[in-house]
Structure 1
Amino acid sequence: MLGSLFGSVCSIDITFDAEQNRKTAALGKDKKGERAYIFTDGEDVMGTAVVSMRPGKKMDHQGIKVELIGQVDMLHDKSQSYDFFSICKDLEPPGSLYESKQYKWKFGAVDKQNETYSGINVRLRYFVRLVVLRSYAVNITKEVDMIVQNVYPPPELNNNIKMEVGIEDCLHIEFEYDKSKYHMKDVIIGKVYFLLVRIKIKHMELNIIRRESTGTGAAGQQTDNETLTKSHTMDGAPVKDQCIPVRLYLTGFDLTPTYKNVQNKFSVRYFLNLVLVDEEDRRYFKQQEVFLWRKKIG
């Protein structure tokens, strides 16, 4: 990893001290490119900072520090970025550096309740920043990201979902899902009962929709819906009193936990969207919100 350069006087770098078996995850929404170590709420975060001086050079500074920061970024309006969490440790008091130095740093039992998130309009990130403060020049900085993922036990209450929907004298169905809260590697199991069918149904699909909401107030709020999957659960016309089973495996989809009003900046909710398509390609649908959570596997 290359350090941040300040002319030819010095370079700086900062890394995490992570055990060999610590897992990593992709930083970007596309799940490609740079990866970062995964940490959980309450874990220590520690590492090494290096300031490398060019031989024979001197650098005056106003102190060297390391910061651990939690930040919400509005991706299309950088002025709305917000640091909701910040801890700072001084590594070196003001003075002059004549030779390279290495520093060990540690933030103990860090509160990290909000998970890392990378969405359409908003990003929540945690990172460590090394800063060399300069009085008459630009500060020298280097940032390295980490990822926070938190696991939870199964919820004590997890009721099934049962609803009716219909069009008068044309269509009447009941649908049922086994739970209202699912972990991110779970299986959605359900049934759809056709009590009245007087339209020519071509197929039925079950969609997972992610709804990201940012901002506050009617004027400032922005909502984006993203369809993560379209799963055909039935092809062909159903008949009266037919029951169609539903089974949808969540493994492999780009899911996150449900986020409820994180730092008063954004929310992420998930919906199951049951869609019927007739022979004229008209679509009849019913949405039902479900709660997603991260379960410890193994």
Structure 2
Amino acid sequence: MSFFGFGQSAEIDVYLDGQETRKTAEVKTEDGKKERLLLYYDGETVIGKVNVSLKKPGSKLEHQGIKIEFIGQIEMFYDRGNHHEFISLVKELARPGEMIAHTSYPFEFSNVEKPFEVYTGGNVRLRYFLRVTIIRRLADIVKELDIAVHTLCSYPEMNNSIKMEVGIEDCLHIEFEYNKSKYHLKDVIVGKIYFLLVRIKIKHMEIAIIKRETTGSGPNTFTDNITIAKYEIMDGAPVRGESIPIRVFLAGYDLTPTMRDINKKFSVRYFLNLVLMDTEDRRYFKQQEITLWRRGDKVRKPNIQSPAIMAGTQNLENTAAVYGHQNNGSQNETEADDDNEEKSENAPVKEDFLRSQSTDQLNNTVTDPFDHANMSPTDRSPENQIQNMKREEGDGQNDIGNDVSVE
């Protein structure tokens, strides 16, 4: 609106250096859609320029100053009036005065600390953005530009496997094992389920990845469980001694790194949920928490040949040149028999490669880490204790009125 000259008389455009070649990342918006934003990392400098253009040529713009801010902010959806800023940097671009032509203002935020990753969940949003403000007496002119921030981690030093025995007393006893407890976002979860005792009629078994978002604290704590993926890993009734493999590829799912107590405002944790259903449609489950982390892109090293390889290649080329020269010289001989004898005497002798008579065998058996025949009963349970599976409540699927909680 521009009634009485009170509307916006200028447009603001923020340009970031290298934005044509900088990597981008998909970030979920508040309404569930996705947009691509320029990607930055912790400690990286944010540099660019602000272009302010007047809408009407020949006009002028009076202002009380122009500034740019770099802001890291957490917004709770249930408390939209309060924004919690954990980063707030300000740069002054222009002092109070008049603008009579299009003007460009460079800016730089050096080595900006960005400790958290961008996130949009069911109840909370964490974002980083640049805000340009032209301060005016009646109404400020404001422009915001969001950026994406990813936090990279190195491979964890301790990454033990998850191994546990669970069951229902005198009815079911199973052992499940996952190869690791910490996975990067494009990793593969490999595991196995082993049935030690089966005295109930199982119809099928499934595994699910659950994201648990916790916001607030104390009595104002809100928990939101979201099923990221779920698929069936077994159909039918197993028998004692049966083994079911598990293989879950994480790259195809919308996952974020595990976040624990971010700025004392929210947490995001992930669980593997193993669910059994019997013929009476009763569901039993056991959850196990896993840690997810973001790994940096692998940089392939250039294929530089070592001096030894280059020397060997040169020797082969020299041999080929000598061999070709001798062949050309022999073609000038008048006798065909003499020509064949000359070639046979000077040509290099070809020898067959012999297989090494080492004791190594390609067919040596490798011990299966999930093979229970090689484990003692005590090894199967780190805590030497069987944990009970719980009856699933509030799932909303296949629940019937006469279900009985069994532990």
Q: TM-score scaled by structure 1?
A: 0.94
1:122-176 per-residue CA deviation (whole Å, 9 max, x = no partner) reads 0000000111111x21111000100001211100000111111111111011111
Q: Is 1:48 paired with 2:61?
A: no
2:178 touches 2:191 (CA, 8 Å); kept in 1?
yes
Shift of 1:19: 4.4
Aligned pair in 2 of structure 1 residues 232, 47: CA closer, same or farther (>3 Å)? same
Q: What is the rounded CA distance, in whole Å, between the counterparts of 2:6 and 2:44 in structure 1?
A: 33
Question: What SS class does the counterpart of residue 137 from structure 1 fall into?
Answer: coil
1:177 touches 1:191 (CA, 8 Å); kept in 2?
yes
2:209 touches 2:229 (CA, 8 Å); kept in 1?
yes
Aligned pair in 2 of structure 1 residues 187, 61: CA closer, same or farther (>3 Å)? same
Task: List runs of 5+ in structure 2 lacking aligned partners.
Answer: 299-407
Shift of 1:8: 5.5
Partner of residue 64, structure 2: 62
Shift of 1:56: 2.3
Q: Is 1:212 paired with 2:213?
A: yes
More deviation, 206-215/74-83: 74-83
Shift of 1:214: 0.3
Decide which structure has greater helix share. Answer: 2
1:50 touches 1:100 (CA, 8 Å); kept in 2?
yes
1:15 touches 1:144 (CA, 8 Å); kept in 2?
no
Partner of residue 18, structure 1: 18
Q: Report the AA paired with residue 214 of structure 2.
A: S
Comparing both chains, which one has the higher relative contact order based on Cα–Cα distances under 8 Å and sequence gaps of 6 or more? 1
Partner of residue 71, structure 1: 73
Q: What is the 5 A alignment of 1:247-266?
A: 247-266=247-266
Q: What is the 5 A alignment of 1:30-49?
A: 32-49=33-50
Partner of residue 279, structure 1: 279
Shift of 1:203: 1.2
Q: What is the rounded CA distance, in whole Å, between the counterparts of 2:94 and 2:21 in structure 1?
A: 32
Size of the aligned set, in residue pairs, is: 292
Shift of 1:225: 0.1
More deviation, 182-191/5-14: 5-14
Q: What is the rounded CA distance, in whole Å, between the counterparts of 1:11 and 1:156 in structure 2?
A: 51
Q: What is the 5 A alignment of 1:81-100?
A: 81-100=83-102
Question: What SS class does the counterpart of residue 81 from structure 2 fall into?
Answer: helix
Structure number with larger C-alpha Rg: 2
Partner of residue 269, structure 1: 269
Q: What is the rounded CA distance, in whole Å, between the counterparts of 2:18 and 2:87 in structure 1?
A: 22
Decide which structure has greater strand share. Answer: 1
1:69 touches 1:86 (CA, 8 Å); kept in 2?
yes
Q: Is 1:189 paired with 2:195?
A: no
Q: What is the rounded CA distance, in whole Å, between the counterparts of 1:61 and 1:85 in structure 2?
A: 26
Partner of residue 119, structure 1: 121
Q: TM-score scaled by structure 2?
A: 0.69
Aligned pair in 2 of structure 1 residues 284, 99: CA closer, same or farther (>3 Å)? same
Q: Report the AA paired with residue 286 of structure 1.
A: K
CA RMSD, 1 decimal: 1.6
1:211 touches 1:223 (CA, 8 Å); kept in 2?
yes
1:177 touches 1:189 (CA, 8 Å); kept in 2?
yes
Question: What SS class does the counterpart of residue 76 from structure 1 fall into?
Answer: helix
1:41 touches 1:110 (CA, 8 Å); kept in 2?
yes
Partner of residue 295, structure 2: 295
Give identity over the alignment, percent. Answer: 55
Q: Is 1:132 paired with 2:134?
A: yes
Q: What is the rounded CA distance, in whole Å, between the counterparts of 2:215 and 2:221 in structure 1?
A: 6
Q: Report the AA paired with residue 129 of structure 2.
A: F
| Segments ≥4 residues shifted beyond 3 Å | 29-33
Question: What SS class does the counterpart of residue 85 from structure 2 fall into?
Answer: strand
1:217-251 per-residue CA deviation (whole Å, 9 max, x = no partner) reads 1x100000000111211111110111111111111
Q: What is the rounded CA distance, in whole Å, between the counterparts of 1:237 and 1:62 in structure 2?
A: 76
